[in-house]
Structure formats: structure tokens, C-alpha cells
Amino acid sequence: MVAISVDPPETNREHRRQQGFTYPFLSDTQAEVTRRYDLLDSAAGPGGTDVARPAEFLIDAAGTVRWMNLTESIAVRTRPDQVLKAVDDLGLVSTPRP
């Protein structure tokens, strides 16, 4: 698992620390990846800044997007159980869950 954010590395490090996340956060400060996946929400952020739309992707080893979830609201995120179900439904390798 990897998170990609338009936030700078310092912001991502602090967010990871505060939330206790252990997976890598990559910074897409120029929004290159965000634009490639058509996720840039122009002027939708605080003060009219550009932000990335919330999105989750399952991408296989060959680089094929196998599943995705896109939302229109920055407040809406996929629940972990939804992602794990998608992994199971696609027959992708999943780690054991408690």
C-alpha cells in the first residue's frame, strides 16, 4: 500500500505520525500523478486552491488498474473493509486479518 498526496513531504510525514500509518506516503507536489489519473479538483480546496479528489486504486503488478473508487467529496473515503473485499473479490493476494 502506498498513499500519494499533493502535500509536501513534511506534511505527509506529520500526518503519518499523527495517524499512526506505517505505509509510505509519496508527495506529488506538482500534481503530475494527480493529473495523470484525472483527479485534480481545480479551486476546490481552501482559499480556492487545487486539491486532489479522494480516490483509491488497486493496481496489479503489471500496472493495470483492477479496482477504483472515486468520490466527489473530500469528506468521503472508502472504508478499509470495502478495499479488502475488493482484493478478495479480485482474487488478489491479501494479508490475513484479525
Output 46-53 pairs: Cβ under 8 A, ≥24 positions apart: 50/6, 51/6, 52/5, 52/6, 52/28
Domains of the chain, each with CATH number or no CATH:
3-90 (3.40.30.10)
At 27 the pLDDT is 95
The answer on pLDDT for 96 being more than 70 is no
First to last CA, the chain: 18
How far is it between the farthest Cα atoms of the chain?
43
Q: pLDDT tens digit string along 42-81? A: 877 888 888 888 888 888 888 888 999 988 777 778 888 8
The CA distance from 22 to 86, in Å, is 21
pTM, two decimal places: 0.69
At 87 the pLDDT is 86
For all residues of the chain together, what is the average pLDDT?
85
